Amino acid sequence: MRLFLHELRNQQRLFWRSRESAFFTFLLPIGFLVLLGSVYGDRTIDGVRGASYLLAGMLGYGIVSTAFAGLAINLVIRRESGVLKRVRGTPLPAAAYLAAAVASTLVVDLGRVAMFDRSPISRRRAAQVPRRRRRVRH
């Protein structure tokens, strides 16, 4: 467990030191949300504001981009540059390395969800989502 936590900390350091990763993970979805929210945010679809759909879409975009760009592509780049061979020469088990990489992606995704949850769009959305009543059949 100690090796896993140490590697998780290293994976987080690697992520946050990369400006491109931070930009495409956090700033680009916010930019899309502001841009598209200003155009389509006040329209309604089945009684729900368009900003609600945009918020869910941006969260989905962020999770998918982090999973593919952050995890899959980085593992391939590390394999091709020989980093994974060097990691195999250390006492760190391969399963702990992979688990730390996946956990690091989950930590970043949870941070993004928390950031979008604190946004003014999500606070307005929560107040305006209509609740549907269940119809009772006799």
For residue 51, which of 65, 70, 32, 64 has the smallest C-alpha distance? 32
Question: What mean pLDDT comes out for the span 10-25?
Answer: 85
In a domain, 134, yes or no: no
In a domain, 33, yes or no: yes
The whole-number pLDDT of residue 18 equals: 83
Task: Report how far apart the first and last C-alpha atoms of the chain are (Å, whole number).
Answer: 57
pLDDT band at 59 (very low <50, low <70, confident <90, very high): confident
**Has residue 50 got a pLDDT over 90?**
no
pLDDT digit string (tens) for 65-91?
788 777 888 889 999 999 999 999 999
Residue 39 vs residues 43, 52, 108: alpha-carbon distances, Å: 9, 13, 28
- What's the whole-model pTM score? 0.72
Report how far Cα 76 is from the mean position of its chain's Cα atoms.
Answer: 20
**Has residue 24 got a pLDDT over 90?**
no
**45 close to 52: Cβ distance less than 8 angstroms:** no
pLDDT digit string (tens) for 100-119?
999 998 998 888 888 877 76
Q: Which domain holds residue 75?
A: 2-128
Overall domain count for the chain: 1
Residue type, 84: L
Tell me which of 12-26, 83-97, 123-137 is least confident: 123-137
Tokens of 43: 């329209």
Interior CA angle at 134 toward 133 and 136, to 5°?
135
**Has residue 120 got a pLDDT over 70?**
no
In a domain, 78, yes or no: yes
Q: Is 92 helix (H, G, I), strand (E, B) or coil?
A: coil
pLDDT band at 131 (very low <50, low <70, confident <90, very high): low
In a domain, 48, yes or no: yes
**Has residue 126 got a pLDDT over 50?**
no
**43 close to 49: Cβ distance less than 8 angstroms:** yes
In a domain, 20, yes or no: yes
Q: Is 46 helix (H, G, I), strand (E, B) or coil?
A: coil
In a domain, 135, yes or no: no
In a domain, 138, yes or no: no
The whole-number pLDDT of residue 22 equals: 79
Residue 37 vs residues 16, 34, 73, 104: alpha-carbon distances, Å: 27, 5, 30, 29
In a domain, 137, yes or no: no
